[in-house]
């Protein structure tokens, strides 16, 4: 999620789309076991079966998976109530290149890149931390993704997937809604509708192991958020029934402030349409210059209220 509509700073994502509290090993509850050694294609989806329609026919789990930056995770697990809420959930810990996973936290480390070319080079040159579960490709219409990749993010993701899978890594892809400004210039439709018209979720699901929908810019309007997530998740699962799908949320996206009620409404409306959420707590910076001030308290309130 470069956070969305801008996306991720050094440890967060702008827009459309993370916190530095030390956490002792004793304070952190065990979450999920380390990743399986099985190849990506053998991983079953955590998402309830939707039959390609977005309508749940067989809910399989009550706890959503969470994609969290290293700094966001460190703040969240420092709260005892949140640690309890996260128990039993799948946690993916997003690392910037060069970062090491949090000590004492059992999560699946995922290193994020805005460029597929840089991602491939990091893999082939052995510059990922030991025990890395996967890599996250975050293409957006911004200076951090090469223009050639912005013009064909599916080809870039396909090439990245080949390299990742050859090294027993999962590939996650988080295409920003603002890619539509490059792929469908001049369109007057809302970006989320353009994104659906381009079938980006479906085309990327054919090559990736997980697709993250950068929906956080829509979270102020639950109906629109739900419509986009439902349609995009259906496109993804229709193209690849084994794909995992996450939806984006942000505690402080650009624009009018949001609160935990916005996030809870989005989760309650979509939690059986997706496997989980990328919970953004972005910081202002070059990757999210218009983000509001960080609000980890909103993330904590949301997780405390989640049942």
Domain assignment of residue 165, yes or no: yes
Number of domains in the chain: 1
Domain assignment of residue 273, yes or no: yes
Q: Is the dihedral of CA 89, 177, 97, 18 positive or negative?
A: negative
Angle between helices 153-166 and 116-124 (to 10 degrees): 10
User: For residue 215, is it left (φ>0), alpha (ψ between -120 and 50) or beta?
Assistant: alpha
Give the closest residue to 63 by CA, choosing from 41, 50, 51, 47.
47
CATH number reported for the structural domain that contains residue 211 in this entry: 3.20.20
Domain, as residue range, for 200: 66-305
Domain assignment of residue 93, yes or no: yes
What pLDDT is attached to residue 307? 63
pLDDT at 169 over 80: yes
Domain assignment of residue 148, yes or no: yes
Domain assignment of residue 28, yes or no: no
What is the pTM assigned to this prediction?
0.80
Domain assignment of residue 55, yes or no: no
Domain assignment of residue 22, yes or no: no
Contact 216, 292 (CB under 8 A): no
pLDDT, tens digit, 9 for 90 and up, residues 107-128: 999 999 999 999 999 999 999 9
pLDDT, tens digit, 9 for 90 and up, residues 236-295: 999 999 999 999 999 988 889 999 999 999 999 999 999 999 999 987 777 777 777 889
Domain assignment of residue 140, yes or no: yes
């Amino acid at each position: 999620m470069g956070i969305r509509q801008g996306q991720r700073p050094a440890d967060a994502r702008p827009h459309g789309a993370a916190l530095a509290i030390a956490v002792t090993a004793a304070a952190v509850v065990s979450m999920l076991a380390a990743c399986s050694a099985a190849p990506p294609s053998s991983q079953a989806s955590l998402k309830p079966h939707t039959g390609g329609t977005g309508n749940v026919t067989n809910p399989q789990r009550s706890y959503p998976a969470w994609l969290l930056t290293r700094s966001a995770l460190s703040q969240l697990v420092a709260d005892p109530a949140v640690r309890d809420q996260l128990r039993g959930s799948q946690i993916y810990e997003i690392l910037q290149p060069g970062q090491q996973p949090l000590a004492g936290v059992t999560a699946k480390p995922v290193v994020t890149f805005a460029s597929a070319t840089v991602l491939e080079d990091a893999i082939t040159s052995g510059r990922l931390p030991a025990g890395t579960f996967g890599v996250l490709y975050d293409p957006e219409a911004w200076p951090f993704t090469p223009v050639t990749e912005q013009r064909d993010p599916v080809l870039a993701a396909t090439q990245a997937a080949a390299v990742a899978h050859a090294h027993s890594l999962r590939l996650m892809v988080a295409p920003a809604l603002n890619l539509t400004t490059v792929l469908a210039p001049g369109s007057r439709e809302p970006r989320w509708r353009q994104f659906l018209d381009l079938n980006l979720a479906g085309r990327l699901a054919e090559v990736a192991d997980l697709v993250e929908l950068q929906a956080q810019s829509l979270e102020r309007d639950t109906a629109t958020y739900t419509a986009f997530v439902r349609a995009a998740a259906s496109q993804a699962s229709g193209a690849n029934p084994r794909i995992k799908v996450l939806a984006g949320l942000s505690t402080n996206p650009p624009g009018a402030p949001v609160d935990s009620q916005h996030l809870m409404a989005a989760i309650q409306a979509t939690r059986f349409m997706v496997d989980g959420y990328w919970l953004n707590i972005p910081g202002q910076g070059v990757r999210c210059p218009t983000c509001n001030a960080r609000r980890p308290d909103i993330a904590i309130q949301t997780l405390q209220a989640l049942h």
